[in-house]
Structure 1
Amino acid sequence: MTLTSQTQPTGTGTAAAAPTRHTNSFWQSVGLVAGREIGTKLRDKAFLFSTVFFLLLTVASTVLPAMLSGGPSSVAVVGSEAAEVLDRAGLEVRTVADEQAARDLVLSEDVDSAVVVGPNGVRVLALDEAPSDVVGALSTAPPVELLAPNAVDPVVRLLVPLVFGMVFFFTSITFGIQIAQSVTEEKQTRIVEILVATVPVRALLAGKVIAASALAIGQIVLIAIAAVVGMTVTDSGAIMDQLAPAIGWFIPFFLVGFVLLAAIWAVTGALVSRQEDIGSVSMPVQLLVLVPFFAVIFGSDNNSLMTVLSYVPFSAPTAMPVRLFLGEAAGWEPVLALLLLLGAAVAVLLFAARLYEGSLLRTNGRTTLAAAWRNRGN
């Protein structure tokens, strides 16, 4: 067991603190803080409700479209040859004895349409609208050559950047604001003075960032699992095969990008002494998330712009997975982009740690970045 002594500066606007004794190692202190934050969050009904809500929304968005679209059309058939053709087309086929039986089923709406094969050829019976799927199945199609067989559906191409962007944007903003509010609340209630007497200031920062990151990545993993299960149930195998590599890369990109932003949000909360002042200092942080979000959404068709965005720390967590989904990124690019993002996260963490130390015990109102940098603990 180690014993250290640390004195915080008592300059202008700084709350005087008694010499602190840290009886735990740094990582033991980080574990204590992280455990406390996670335990508090898991007991928070709002957090649990939001997690369940996002899971239900994910399942609904993958399952409901298939359910609402209905099953295959049902068709009554007179004649075995037509029945085989329609069955191969994936339609629900009911073989009947004669034309009158087929007409009765259509009139009673027990089937969507009927096909009658007789001396005069093939006729299709329907109630009030020509069944295009039945007509298409009976027609002789010319040979088709696909020039871009792996092309992404335009609707899916629009939705994927939106989904990745919204997940990263809303998760980082929601958890980020909660981190800032937690830090400010501890300052406002003076609990922070008790905390720093027990654990080092940097361990307090690390514990908060690790706890928030663990909870956020837990939510993302659950959402990803729900999406995969939903697409499996609805037999959306083609889309899932395209999305799988992008989702696999999105998780580590999200984790590193979130850690970077979480550290900034913690500093944001440490710079003020009242909950009411968080809004005045959080706007630049929100813009760091908001601007890349819109850049990826509206620039997803611009390959040059997306290439640049996939290497910028604040947009890489969404831009690179989108490029991977669209097949526009080489195999080495996500590795390089992730390493650059990791380096940026480490640099921001070191910078944020110094600002956090210099502002956490200053309780006279808003602390400037310059003052926080000068007045860090020794």
Structure 2
Amino acid sequence: MITDRPAPSPAPLPASAVWLVAEREITAKLRSRAFVIATGILLLIALAAVLIGGLASRSASPDAIAVTSETAAVAEALPDVEPTLVADRSAAETLVKDDEVSAAIVPGDESGFGFVVLTKEDAPTSLMMQLSQVPKVEVLEPADTDPLLRYLVAIGFGVVFLMAASTFGGTIAQSVVEEKQTRVVELLISAIPTRELLAGKVLGNTVLAMGQIVALAAIAIVGLIVTGQNELLAGIGAPVLWFAVFFLFGFVLLASLYAAAAAMVSRQEDIGSTTMPLMMLVMAPYFLVIFFNDNPLVLTIMSYVPFSAPVAMPVRMFVGEAQWWEGALSLAILLATCAGAIVVAAKIYENSLLRMGARVKLGEALRG
């Protein structure tokens, strides 16, 4: 007697297989209470930092300014200023250059106001707004950006890259080893090709990481708008876009390497032995950009190194030390490195995934 048997389910296409794995990674992470709480805390910290910075900038102390006998009457009519009487323009310039006063009002006929404002780097906004007419401003020692703002922006990019790359890179590594340790990977690769499994893991965690980046950017924009920091928002908009693009490909590069490194071990306790070099690559840009954010040479070198370019190039864009073509060249180098790393990582992952027991040596993983 012939009985009808149900036809076997067709194997999933590569694209659908990749998305199935990615969806599994995303769902598992979003169901994790620890991940949701940690993300919420991170977003609250970012919002608080923006709001506190905006409120601090609003509650500035009165401007200390230097005046001569001819311009003392002008200063007396201005609120929120602390005038210091000096003998002449030369004495006023000395106080400005020594940072003892933020500006000086001295006699001058060139602008038609009867006086000019002397500043060292930038004209105090509060002082300029208090003047009924805008006088001529002479900048004695121009500066590209505020050193403190430059430092804070460098820290911001460095912290976001460090936290996102290390968090989701570690997640990929733990997921790979857990599947090996429980033998679930044997069931997975019986239905899904090994490389599609790797691509799905990288894709899923990339979506999560980029989601955090977009959320942080949205909170920063809202915070800057609410606190009235429109000038800073206009200056940081383009660098944030550059950072998002660089982070996308930089994370794919690191994520594929994290998965490959984790595939070389079979126990959670051994993950650190293979992922430690990658962790150092993630931490290095953070510390370098903090210590050398005011060093153009070091930043330029970092902006062309694939592992540090996602942090260094946006900082250079923000301070105006890089042209658009430099960003494009750095991105091209990152893309080429990313493609090469994916090829190598796929080979290591494929050759090591089913090998249990002792740690697989790198040479053996590459040879197969």
| Normalised-by-shorter TM-score class | 0.7 to 0.9
Residue in 2 aligned with 1:322? 315
Taking the TM superposition and a 5 Å limit, the aligned residue runs for 1:213-362 are 213-362=206-355
Match for 2:367 among 358, 371, 374? 374
Structure 1 residue 66, shift from structure 2 partner: 3.5
Most deviating of 322-331 and 59-68:
59-68
Separation of aligned partners in 1, 2:297 and 2:41: 36
Separation of aligned partners in 2, 1:297 and 1:57: 20
Q: Mark the CA change 1:137 to 1:269 in structure 2 (over 3 Å): closer, same or farther.
A: same
Structure 1 residue 144, shift from structure 2 partner: 3.5
Match for 1:167 among 160, 166, 174? 160
Structure 1 residue 366, shift from structure 2 partner: 0.7
Say whether residues 1:34 and 2:27 are aligned partners.
no
Separation of aligned partners in 2, 1:165 and 1:261: 15
Separation of aligned partners in 2, 1:65 and 1:206: 40
Separation of aligned partners in 2, 1:221 and 1:85: 43
Separation of aligned partners in 2, 1:208 and 1:163: 27
Match for 1:53 among 3, 21, 41? 41
Residue in 2 aligned with 1:154? 147
Separation of aligned partners in 2, 1:55 and 1:144: 40
Structure 1 residue 277, shift from structure 2 partner: 0.6
SS at match of 1:197: helix
Separation of aligned partners in 2, 1:267 and 1:274: 14
Separation of aligned partners in 2, 1:373 and 1:331: 38
Q: Mark the CA change 1:140 to 1:52 in structure 2 (over 3 Å): closer, same or farther.
A: same
Q: Cα deviation per residue 1:285-336 (whole Å; 9 max; x = unaligned)?
A: 1111122322222122221221111011000000000000010001211111
SS at match of 2:150: helix
Which runs of 5 or more residues in structure 2 are unaligned? 1-8, 62-74, 81-125
Separation of aligned partners in 1, 2:54 and 2:164: 27
Identity of aligned residues (%): 47
Which runs of 5 or more residues in structure 1 are unaligned? 1-20, 74-81, 88-132
Say whether residues 1:187 and 2:180 are aligned partners.
yes
Separation of aligned partners in 1, 2:330 and 2:40: 32
**Matched letter for residue 18 of structure 2:** V
How many residues get paired? Answer: 303
Separation of aligned partners in 2, 1:68 and 1:318: 26
Residue in 2 aligned with 1:66? 54
Contact 2:263–2:353 under 8 Å retained in 1: yes
**TM-score, L = length of structure 1:** 0.74
Q: Mark the CA change 1:279 to 1:333 in structure 2 (over 3 Å): closer, same or farther.
A: same
SS at match of 1:283: helix
CA radius of gyration, larger in: 1
Separation of aligned partners in 2, 1:57 and 1:292: 22
The answer to which structure, 1 or 2, has the higher relative contact order (CA under 8 A, 6+ apart) is 1
Contact 1:274–1:365 under 8 Å retained in 2: no
Structure 1 residue 229, shift from structure 2 partner: 0.7
